[in-house]
Amino acid sequence: MANFNYDDLTFNIDKFLPWERLDEITGKEGLKDEYLMTLQSISQFCEKNVIPVAEAIDREGCDLVTDDKGKKQVKIPKQMEENINRLKSMGFFCGTTIPEEHGGFGFALTAFFAIGELFSMADASIGLSPMLQEGCAQVLVEFANDRIREKYLPKLISGERICAMGLTEPGAGSDLAPMATTAVPVGPGSEKYSARVKELEELGEVYLVNGTKIFITNGYGDVLTLAKINNGISMILVHKEDKEVTRVEHKLGITGSPTCEIFFNDSPGVLVGKIGDGLVPNMIKLMYIARMGTATQGLGIAQMAHTMAKDYATNDRVQFGVKIIEHPPVRQMIFENEIDIQATRSLIYYAAFNFDMREAVKWKLKGLQDGSAEQEDLKKKFREYSKITELLVCLSKYDGAELSNSVTYSSLQVYGGNGFTKDYPMERFYRDARITSIYEGTSQIQIDQIFNESFYSEKVALINQLKIGENNSFVETENNKLFFDRFLDEFKNETLKKSAGKPIVPALMPSIDRMRSCLKTVRQELFLMEKKKGKEMGKKYNSMYQRDFVDILACIIKSSFLLRQAAISEKKESVAKSYIVRAVMKAEYLKNKILSGNDDLITETYFKVVG
582 lies in the same domain as 474: yes
474 lies in the same domain as 370: no
Q: How confident is the model at residue 4 (pLDDT cuts 50, 70, 90)?
A: confident
Distance CA 465, CA 151 (A): 55
Give the mean model confidence (pLDDT) for residues 181-194.
Answer: 93
Distance CA 142, CA 35 (A): 23
How far CA 447 is from CA of 396, 545, 595, in Å, comes to 11, 10, 19
**Domain end marker among 432, 452, 472:** 452
Q: Return the amino acid letter for 303.
A: Q
Q: How confident is the model at residue 29 (pLDDT cuts 50, 70, 90)?
A: confident
Reported for 489-494, long-range contacts at CB under 8 A and 24+ positions apart, including other chains, are: 491/560, 491/564, 492/560, 494/564
DSSP string covering 230-284: TTEEEEEEE-GGGSEEEEE---SS-TTS-EEEEEEEEEEEEEESSTT-IIIIIIH
pLDDT at 369: 77
Tally of CB atoms within 10 A around 380: 11
Assess contact for 474 and 542: CB atoms under 8 A.
Answer: no
Distance CA 168, CA 260 (A): 11
366 lies in the same domain as 477: no
Please write the tens of the pLDDT for every residue from 537-583.
999 999 999 999 999 999 999 999 999 999 999 999 999 999 999 99
346 lies in the same domain as 486: no
pLDDT at residue 3 is higher than 80: no
Please check whether residue 329 lies inside any domain of the structure. Answer: yes
Q: Which residues form the domain of 397?
A: 283-452
Distance CA 166, CA 295 (A): 20
How far CA 494 is from CA of 72, 553, 568, 577, in Å, comes to 58, 19, 12, 19
Determine the Cα angle at 406 with ends 403 and 408, to 5°.
100
pLDDT at residue 515 is higher than 60: yes
Please check whether residue 189 lies inside any domain of the structure. Answer: no
The DSSP bridge partners found for residue 63 are: 75
Q: What are phi and psi of 260, to 5 degrees?
A: -120, 155
419 lies in the same domain as 549: no
303 lies in the same domain as 319: yes
Please check whether residue 333 lies inside any domain of the structure. Answer: yes
pLDDT at 1: 52
Distance CA 330, CA 408 (A): 14
Strands 322-323 and 232-238 come out as: unpaired
**Domain end marker among 427, 452, 477:** 452
First to last CA, the chain: 48
Question: Which residue from 122, 117, 99 is spatially nearest to 38, judged by alpha carbons?
Answer: 117
Whether this prediction's pTM lies above 0.85 is answered by: yes
Distance CA 300, CA 324 (A): 25
Structural element, H or E, at residue 398: helix 373-415
Distance CA 488, CA 474 (A): 19
506 lies in the same domain as 589: yes
DSSP-derived 3-state class of residue 110: helix
pLDDT at 2: 55
Assess contact for 235 and 224: CB atoms under 8 A.
Answer: yes
Distance CA 303, CA 320 (A): 28
Q: Which of 8-22, 442-456, 488-502 has the lowest mean pLDDT?
A: 488-502
Distance CA 253, CA 468 (A): 54
pLDDT at residue 252 is higher than 60: yes
337 lies in the same domain as 381: yes
Residues, the chain: 611
How far CA 30 is from CA of 43, 92, 211, in Å, comes to 21, 20, 48
Please write the tens of the pLDDT for every residue from 320-377.
999 999 999 999 999 999 999 999 999 999 999 999 999 999 999 988 878 888 899 9
The CA-based dihedral angle spanning residues 418, 424, 428, 431, taken in that order and rounded to the nearest 10 degrees: 0
Distance CA 187, CA 189 (A): 5
**Domain end marker among 452, 474, 506:** 452
Write the CB contacts of 7 (distance below 8 Å, at least 6 apart in sequence).
none
Q: Return the amino acid letter for 7.
A: D
Please check whether residue 490 lies inside any domain of the structure. Answer: yes
Q: How confident is the model at residue 197 (pLDDT cuts 50, 70, 90)?
A: very high
Q: Which of 187-191, 273-277, 439-443, 463-467 has the lowest mean pLDDT?
A: 187-191
Please check whether residue 559 lies inside any domain of the structure. Answer: yes
CATH number for 291: 1.20.140.10
412 lies in the same domain as 488: no
462 lies in the same domain as 448: no
State whether the Cα torsion 227-228-233-234 is positive or negative. negative
DSSP-derived 3-state class of residue 144: coil
Q: How many domains does the chain have?
A: 2
Please check whether residue 25 lies inside any domain of the structure. Answer: no
Please check whether residue 377 lies inside any domain of the structure. Answer: yes
470 lies in the same domain as 340: no
Rg (CA), the chain: 25
Please check whether residue 497 lies inside any domain of the structure. Answer: yes
Q: What are phi and psi of 98, to 5 degrees?
A: -75, 135
pLDDT at 13: 98
289 lies in the same domain as 431: yes
